[in-house]
Structure 1
């Protein structure tokens, strides 16, 4: 072998094949044998006319070639097995809850509890994932505005809800707080991904209703989460709804959540209807008296109710203004707070708003403060020179509503206050720079003084007239009895005709029987309590009896003195004015007879012309009895219906 390279299998002679020359024009129509080849090019072409072959045979060959082309072009069938169908989503929340197997739900809880005994949050996560899977329906209304309060946890069957309650209680408060934060964040995340998140809402609502203080302690963290999803309306509303459930069990927690979480987004048009509805429900649930409202929060709520922002729903603002009276008792619950600090704050607030209803509400609060502590007038007197304009609004409010306000405040203290205001106004009038509202203040003070004087005059006139009427009636009765005997007197006859004595006796007997029955029941059920009450009240009863005897003896002594001195008085009057007593007796007799006559005519007219037909005493009595019987029947039916519902729920 030689050490040189050799080329094997290649002949030198015919190594190069002739390549036909193709022009550029023809090269454009030539297709690449790899990329530009067509399926038709792989079949042999038949000439139109072949020697010795008939045209029919040529056509049949072409048809067979076309069929084979179609078979090659037809896509291949996918023979992979189809995926199993997903379970259908329930049509409603109630349907989905009723379809859940409670035993399966409870077994999941028990299994995870036994597997992870020291990780309560893992138990709760397993339950909430199960609910998300079973309740995979699309919720159009994230805040359930058309449903009653407490929904959807109120729609959960009792057995299923029992498992939820048991799991949260056994997890403990600290774990429940952490799990609430986890559910709130996971709900927002899953809703952003389009995943089912209804299971989170059941646990969020239950924890918020039962542990409101735990929720408000992390309100800053919830505010950060709300800011992250503020532009996603359904997620933002769901976060507000979940945290806002605390208001239905604790008023103070509801106010905190409203101030920290709801108020910053109230100006956003898409959020304002729900936030105002939440505020309305919060005020409506404040009637239990357990909440305390600071004056700052009270003024904040009033600013929202009496706002002039146009994008707030008018109907909700109207409903809120009607519920302001529910907030006033909460403002005065804390008796330790001194009311003197309210005066200057409210006066400055009065002049800062132009809404008349808002001003009237603030003025009414100030009047309430004056009613509870009259020493607050001194605070008003002290700050009056620097708050003349705002004081004018309050003075005009007092003057316009004097008939009701005069019964609520100390009129003597108000009188002294107005006198001091007049002195201050005289001093301010001498200055070159006039205070705003000084002239209006002088007019308002004058108006109140005039009403106080007129009220005092009219009240004294009414008292005098009432006393004279009572004395005149007593004199007429005494004159009637004195002129005739008691059996023949017109007074006894009138009382007998109108059956006053009979009905009085019946009322007395009925009252006596009722008291005896009540005493028997108390003695039967609470013997020790009855004995204690008797021992405590016996000295006071004896004192009342002794006082009654002394009063009766005093009247008897007075009567004897009158009877003794009466002839002497008549004799003296007769000596000074002869015939006066006789004429007076005759005039009184005529007046009494005329009054009795017209009274009888009036009664006859009412009996014959007014109280007839449907207004007759018989019909009125029948209607009242029927209404009472119907009410009693409906109340009994309603009681039985509630009893059955409660028994069904317990079972």
Structure 2
């Protein structure tokens, strides 16, 4: 009874010693039956099945699945007939509502048309809030997998992080303080630290501002850690190389973030290795541009105190040079920097002496605006020096006082213009000699030649000329005699070298030609792609603006530039004709005067017998001049008309 009840109710069965063999036999039979069942199941699993037919679209696959579910759906059991008719009607309605199949669509277009746009937008808006949690889940899951000895591959999480941050890079910067705390808590685990830095750094490849926030908030605080500094510098290098346009990163970095980078780049014996420090120093100019921002004329005065406090006598030469150049740039660009320097002058006398000395050395290269603005500042420094000398006397104060005096001397006395004076003297001497030669007709009859001969300069010049002639002849004869010998020696010594140089030049030319051919081929292949990309990504408004600009330029060319050029050419032609006429008139007048002089000379030489003949000639010339004058007047009247 006990065994039967136990078997019926599923309770424990009490087995006695006498029934052990029977029970064992029973168990053996059960095992046989079970093994036979497993064998049958295995054989059924081994049976080959035909391959599945692939659907053309995802919509067709879901449609087939829906039809299959409708076929396999079992109708609910019927109610007993003893119930009332009203309950039967309600059950039929519920059955019809439960067994109602979803509406099928013929194609994908009809399915899209039947979508509820409002519901879809609501679901999408609700899903937007889940992306930050999904990002945190991926990061923390990757960290947990790293704790296991045989963790699963993390490629799927990496792909999800990259896909998420490609569209929403701001997600990575929402919880930077928490991730920094997490990074510091696992600082002794480089693999986890690099995983966190990699995951957050993916945002910078799509948005420069978010990448800078990640680097300044996560990687800069751990830049001194040797196991992480190499990745941080490499990420910064790739970030700045990927985004050539730095304007999108303005406003992210300030003095608080910039000056630790300055110390890492220039201070010796810091946590960075020399190679990483050199790499960071190579990136420093672009970081400086990012720090100064889009409007340096209004922000540089905030950087001057930190620059000035670091310019000590113990800082390295490269860092001192960079600090002095940066402070000079602050003074040149931002006018408020002079006021900040006046406030810090008494507390930073040694640093101010370095800056004053640098300004004194580079005074000529300073812009005129800074020179003018420095006058008031240097005068206030002198007054401050006089007040401080009454109570305190130090070497830095004396240096500052002397430098201020020298700067004021440079401001007031600009120096004698020797170059301008020499140029004026040369022009005056050249003009005097030219006028002297013109008035006397030749150089030998001029006053300058007589002065040179009387003073002995001409004789010395002639002697020097003869000496130069003699020595030049000797030099030419020596060259003619020794040139073949030296040429043969040069050919013997330099010939092989020239041949090697020619061969290397040919090889270099061949290499350059091959590379240029590859480059031209690459340009030919990529140019259409670039043009297509520009055409597809450039809005139509840009092309419309270019078309309007082209029409405007054509209008200006036709209506303004061409008429202006024609008018200028006409004016030049008129001026040229008038100049020719005036020159002709002057020539006619000069010929008349020369004729009078010739007649006077001939009259004196020929005597009284030839006077009448000379008068006749004079009359003929006078008549010619009169006719020339008449023709000139007629031409002038025509021009006036």
Task: Give TM-score scaled by structure 2 length.
Answer: 0.48
Larger radius of gyration: 2
Whose RCO is larger (CA < 8 A, sep 6+)?
A: 1
Task: Give TM-score scaled by structure 1 length.
Answer: 0.47
- Give the number of the structure whose residues are more often helix, by fraction: 2
